[in-house]
Amino acid sequence: MHHALMRLSPVLSPADLPRPELDAARLDGELFLLDGCHCPIDEPERPALRAGSLAARFGQRLIAERRSAAWVLGALATAPRVHQLCAGSTARVRPADRSGLELREVVIDEEDLLLIGGFRVTAPVRTVTDLARFSEAFGPEERRIVRRLARIGRVGLDDCLRLMNRRRNLPAKRRATQRLRDALG
């Protein structure tokens, strides 16, 4: 009789194993904590793992955007304290747990999205543009994040302007254009 070894997901939450077991495995040095989820220590922390932790926490119907997307893509070293997720304006998604979550309904095209670790994330050009459009403050930290994302995604100022020019009457377009010229120009 063969016993198939069960391969656990690289991202574990209390939906997979009871929290005391997860905590014990972490204390034994078998797991590390990643944004409220647990991962085997031999799993490198990479975009798919970070995206998987969002999927485990918030389900697979939402989309990582702005700072959360920057974190998944590797432009932020640590997860934001409050995740910034969105849903397409037609999606009708209502997550059960909204703690630690800033959720917006947005108009979004498939071409603005990447599928990473089974979770949708705004592509670097969309993430850069959204950070410039919607960040309350746009100081040195935001400019650094935008420059890192631009490097990771090979995105330039022209790519961002093209994205914003796809839609007429785009809110905060003028402010974003100036911010992006300062950060990337």
**Cα 104 from Cα 161, distance rounded (Å):** 22
**Secondary element (H or E) of residue 183:** helix 173-184
Nearest 5 degrees, angle CA 30-CA 117-CA 70?
Answer: 95
- pLDDT exceeds cutoff 90 at 154: yes
Summarised one tens digit per residue, pLDDT across range 36-91 is 899 999 999 899 999 999 998 888 889 999 999 999 999 999 999 999 999 987 77
Summarised one tens digit per residue, pLDDT across range 10-40 is 899 888 889 999 999 999 999 999 998 999 9
| Inter-residue long-range contacts of 34-41, CB under 8 Å, 24+ positions, other chains counted | 34/79, 35/79, 37/11, 37/12, 37/13, 38/11, 38/12, 38/13, 39/10, 39/11, 39/12, 40/8, 40/10
**Cα 127 from Cα 70, distance rounded (Å):** 7
Which residues, in sequence order, are bridge partners of residue 35? none
Percent of the chain with pLDDT over 90: 72
pLDDT confidence band for 5 (50 / 70 / 90): very low
Summarised one tens digit per residue, pLDDT across range 122-135 is 999 999 999 999 99
DSSP 93-139: ---S--TTEEEEEE---GGGEEEETTEEEE-HHHHHHHHHHH-S---
**Cα 30 from Cα 126, distance rounded (Å):** 37
CB count, 10 Å around CB of 19?
A: 10
pLDDT of residue 168: 85
C-alpha distances in Å from residue 114, one per residue of 23, 37, 64, 100: 32, 22, 10, 23
Q: HSE (CB half, 13 Å, CA atoms) of 66? A: 22
**Cα 104 from Cα 124, distance rounded (Å):** 18
